[in-house]
Structure 1
């Protein structure tokens, strides 16, 4: 009896290994339900609130006007993200977090305050750590295919802002070190 035909790979012209075929898992294309969207966006909104307050600590410790203006702009970006996320949360029937720090926010602000006491370099190092966290969270969210496309687009734009913040901080730290 002839061996059953297996599909050939277009790239190699050979049939895939049996173990590779079995190892494939279907990609989830299920959309998030409304409560999960609200929860995930609320977490991001709180992260932006905490970042906003951390930037306030850093700004207070930086005397150079050029550096302060960048930090103030990035602080404003976090506020804009919070406002936009809050609007979307409300549109989905949820209540966004208050514009105040949560427990984690107090820890972040305390860390930033301690580092900022060491001057401009300390403030920028603290903000680098904070921006690494926001970049990680926005990267995950913007790449989550379960979010509706329009929402992923907004999250990708915010992630772009976060990448800009982190890049500038890293470049500035390299320049002043």
Structure 2
């Protein structure tokens, strides 16, 4: 799936879509956590899920401060993000990590794009930079722990 987040003209519309993407990621992490067998993987993935919860909170607080209503749930992308994880369960932890890694590509791309908007204030820039750094860290861990020889 290729995300369109960060391509919108209006920054507030883009932020709402970014929150929906993070909410979808949380759902995908729930699916992964229910299927992973390795406890160390579960611990790491749980911390990544917590990062996505923090992203939702920080972005939602920013929207509210600027008189915009944040979304409360993801959109239909969650069917795709969860579906990849659910199907990969048939092939074990490595496949689940591979599915989650492909999901993280979208969130990493979205945060990177969001940082390119002209005129974002320092507070939003800090939130977006922290989110982007989290996404890079999540992806790097998954890249390291995903054995591509089984794909």
**TM tier, smaller:** 0.7 to 0.9
Tell me the equivalent position of 2:115: 142
Q: TM-score, normalised by structure 1?
A: 0.75
Q: 1:79 is matched with which residue?
A: 53
Conservation of the 8 A alpha-carbon contact between 1:57 and 1:116: no
Displacement after TM superposition at 1:44 (Å): 0.8
Match of 2:74 in 1: 101
Unaligned runs of 5+ in 2: 1-8
Instruction: Pick the structure with more helix per residue.
Output: 2
Q: What SS class does the counterpart of residue 63 from structure 1 fall into?
A: coil
Counterpart for residue 27 of structure 1? none
Deviation at 1:117, TM superposition (A): 3.0
The higher-RCO structure (CA 8 Å, 6+ apart) is: 2
Q: In structure 2, do the counterparts of structure 1 residues 132 and 43 end up closer, same or farther at CA, with 3 Å as the change threshold?
A: same
Q: 1:176 to 1:79 in 2, by over 3 A?
A: farther
Q: Which runs of 4+ in 1 moved over 6 A?
A: none
Match of 2:125 in 1: 152
CA contact (8 A) 1:135 1:162 kept: yes
Q: Do the aligned residues in 2 keep the contact of 1:131 with 1:166 (CA within 8 Å)?
A: yes
Q: Is residue 63 of structure 1 aligned with residue 37 of structure 2?
A: yes
For the aligned residue pairs, the C-alpha RMSD in angstroms reads 1.8
Q: Secondary structure at the match of 2:10?
A: helix
CA–CA distance in structure 1, aligned partners of residues 124 and 54 of structure 2 = 15
Distance 1:142 1:167, change over 3 A: same
Query: Aligned equivalents of 1:164 and 1:173: distance in 2?
Result: 14
Alpha-carbon offset, residue 111 of structure 1: 2.0
1-structure distance, mates of 2:37, 2:149: 14
TM-score w.r.t. the length of structure 2 is: 0.87
Identify unmatched segments of 5+ residues in structure 1.
Answer: 1-34
Aligned residues: 142
Asked if the contact 1:52–1:79 (Cα under 8 Å) also holds between the matched residues in 2, the reply is: yes
